[in-house]
Structure 1
Amino acid sequence: MSNNLPKFHPKHLNWLMPLILSGIMSGAISCFNMFINKGWSDQFISLWLHAWSLSWLMAFPLILVVLPLVRKFLMQFIEMPKEK
């Protein structure tokens, strides 16, 4: 079985990973919060999809900006291995 899916160049990981992660996280959190606050209803899915789309619209640009800052901050506490 061969994989004929198109492949992305590795340089696209800088925006693809935040896109997927922000989608998963905003979807899960908005679903959880909506269920906790509103409970289940006949309109739950449509209300959640609307909330998710707004959350994702905020989450993706936010993670694009914040991720490099967090990486820079954490590098202050990371000891890189010495090359032999």
Structure 2
Amino acid sequence: MKNFKFHPKHLTWLMPLILSGIMSGAISCFNLFLKLGWVDGFFSIWLHAWSLSWLMAFPLILIVLPLVRNTLMKFVEMPK
């Protein structure tokens, strides 16, 4: 079977997709645990909270990441 690889042009949406998924999952789990503790049904409650968080995080990071990158580039000296 041939190895499947994405074209580099897909990094513009794949990286934010994975990053937003990991971050929203970790943060929603942490916040939910702090609020409720380890309750019955924690996993299903967390998956619901995570899906809503990811629904918000992915489009937000797609919009904010280029703005942050462009702003930071004004303060970064690139090698010549």
**TM-score, normalized by the shorter chain, greater than 0.5:** yes
The answer for unaligned runs of 5 or more in structure 1 is none
One-letter amino acid of the counterpart of residue 68, structure 2:
V
CA RMSD of aligned residues (A): 1.1
**1:28 paired to 2:29:** no
Match of 1:19 in 2: 17
3-state SS of 1:77 partner: coil
Query: What amino acid sits opposite 2:36 in the alignment?
Result: K
2:4 aligns to what SS in structure 1? Answer: coil
**TM-score when scaled to structure 1?**
0.92
Does residue 80 (structure 1) correspond to residue 78 (structure 2)? The answer is yes
Q: In structure 1, what is the Cα distance between the partners aligned to 2:25 and 2:3?
A: 25
Stretches of structure 2 lacking an aligned partner (at least 5 in a row): none
Q: Which amino acid aligns with 1:55?
A: S
Q: Which amino acid aligns with 2:55?
A: L
